[in-house]
């Protein structure tokens, strides 16, 4: 494995970072909002599934009811 001195490494990193296509502020905002929407939808779905399973377990096992 070839050794790279620190300055050469920094130059390589800078060249690679220059190739990256960074998202715009709008793209980042839209993606963030979509993530929050899907998190809320998923949390709501699992909340209702959990509640339904809890009721089902209580009916089957005869607890609390």
Q: What is the pTM of this model?
A: 0.65
DSSP helix/strand/coil, 51: helix
Q: pLDDT for 3-56, tens place per residue?
A: 878 899 999 999 999 999 999 999 999 999 999 999 999 999 999 999 999 999
Residue 16 lies in a domain: no
Residue 29 lies in a domain: yes
Largest CA distance in the chain: 72
Domain count along the chain = 1
Per-residue confidence band for 1, with pLDDT thresholds at 50, 70 and 90 = low
Q: For position 62, what pLDDT does the model report?
A: 85
Other beta carbons within 10 angstroms of residue 13's beta carbon come to: 10
> DSSP label at 62?
T
Residue 17 lies in a domain: no
Residue 49 lies in a domain: yes
Read off φ and ψ for residue 4, nearest 5 degrees: -120, 130
CA angle 22, 24, 30 (to 5 degrees): 120
């Amino acid at each position: 494995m070839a050794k790279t001195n620190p300055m050469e490494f920094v130059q390589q990193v800078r060249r690679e970072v220059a190739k990256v296509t960074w998202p715009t502020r709008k793209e980042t905002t839209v993606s963030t909002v979509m993530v929050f929407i899907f998190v809320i939808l998923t949390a709501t779905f699992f909340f209702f599934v959990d509640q339904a399973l809890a009721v089902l377990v209580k009916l089957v096992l005869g607890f609390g009811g």
